[in-house]
């Protein structure tokens, strides 16, 4: 089991699942209107896609980089083998709190469920928290794209490299590991690129990102 990032969640959904998603989207529309963020509807037709995220641990590893960048402007050392990103004190503190007001530089990346919920292609600054939606947080894929792009620049990973390519695999699986460069953050770079692809597709098509 692991996290899958889906754009176009209705495309291959069976009837029961599609009904649930449409109900979620109706709730999301009302929340956006109530927050003054404008209106949004899932397109009737969209060419969907799915993106892997290296499980839940990969997402937490990427968020660990984000909280350190927010705190000090610098990347932490790569996560030691067998260490869990959620044990990082800064990430623990971020998870224990609510989205900040004014919003922090990575709120849409950090304050979201790791196993459910949505991002919609509407530009709003404050993450919307509401127990009526899966994951209890609604994020903006517009903001997610900008935030993840900022982490990508900090790592130095080229946005045009395919995370599923042999080139990426070889770059991040050298023995001994590289002493510097984005290749030191192989898992984080992989998740970063997958989120960039998902967020860019969401913005381009007007379709929501669903965490499944």
> How confident is the model over 180-189, as pLDDT tens digits?
899 999 999 9
Please write the tens of the pLDDT for every residue from 99-155: 888 999 999 999 999 999 999 999 999 999 999 999 999 999 999 999 999 999 999
| Exposure string over 127-139, b if 16+ CB within 10 A, otherwise e | bbeeeebbbebbb
Strand order, beta sheet including 49-52: 49-52, 4-7, 209-211, 118-120, 137-140, 128-129
Alpha carbon distances (Å) from 123 to 111, 119, 144, 165, 178: 16, 10, 10, 32, 38
- Is the pLDDT assigned to residue 1 strictly greater than 80? no
Cα separation, 206 vs 142, whole angstroms: 10
Whole-number average pLDDT of the chain: 94
Alpha carbon distances (Å) from 197 to 24, 87, 94: 23, 28, 25
Please write the tens of the pLDDT for every residue from 66-75: 999 999 999 9
Which residues, other chains included, contact 39 with Cβ-Cβ below 8 Å and sequence gap of 6+?
Answer: 29, 32, 33
Cβ atoms within 10 Å, residue 39? 8
More confident residue, 177 or 144: 144
pLDDT in the model for residue 39: 94
pLDDT grade for 27, boundaries at 50, 70 and 90:
very high
pLDDT grade for 83, boundaries at 50, 70 and 90:
confident
Per cent of the chain over pLDDT 70 is: 100
**118 beta partners:** 138, 210
Cβ atoms within 10 Å, residue 61? 27
């Amino acid at each position: 089991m692991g996290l899958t990032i889906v754009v176009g969640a209705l495309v291959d959904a069976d009837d029961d699942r599609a009904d649930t998603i449409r109900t979620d989207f109706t709730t999301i529309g009302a929340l956006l209107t109530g927050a003054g963020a404008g209106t949004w509807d899932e397109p009737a037709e969209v060419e969907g896609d799915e993106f892997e995220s290296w499980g839940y641990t990969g997402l937490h590893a990427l968020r660990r980089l984000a909280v350190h960048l927010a705190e000090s402007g610098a990347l932490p050392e790569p996560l030691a083998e067998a260490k869990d990103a959620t044990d990082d004190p800064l990430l623990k503190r971020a998870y224990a709190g609510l989205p900040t007001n004014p919003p922090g530089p990575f709120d849409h990346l950090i304050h979201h469920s790791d196993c459910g919920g949505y991002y919609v292609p509407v530009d709003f600054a404050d993450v919307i928290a509401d127990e009526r939606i899966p994951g209890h947080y609604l994020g903006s894929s517009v903001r997610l794209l900008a935030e993840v792009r900022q982490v990508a620049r900090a790592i130095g990973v080229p946005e045009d490299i395919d995370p599923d390519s042999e080139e990426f695999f070889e770059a991040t699986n050298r023995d001994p590991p590289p002493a510097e460069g984005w290749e030191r953050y192989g898992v984080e770079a992989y998740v970063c690129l997958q989120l960039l692809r998902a967020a860019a597709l969401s913005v381009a098509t007007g379709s929501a990102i669903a965490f499944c």
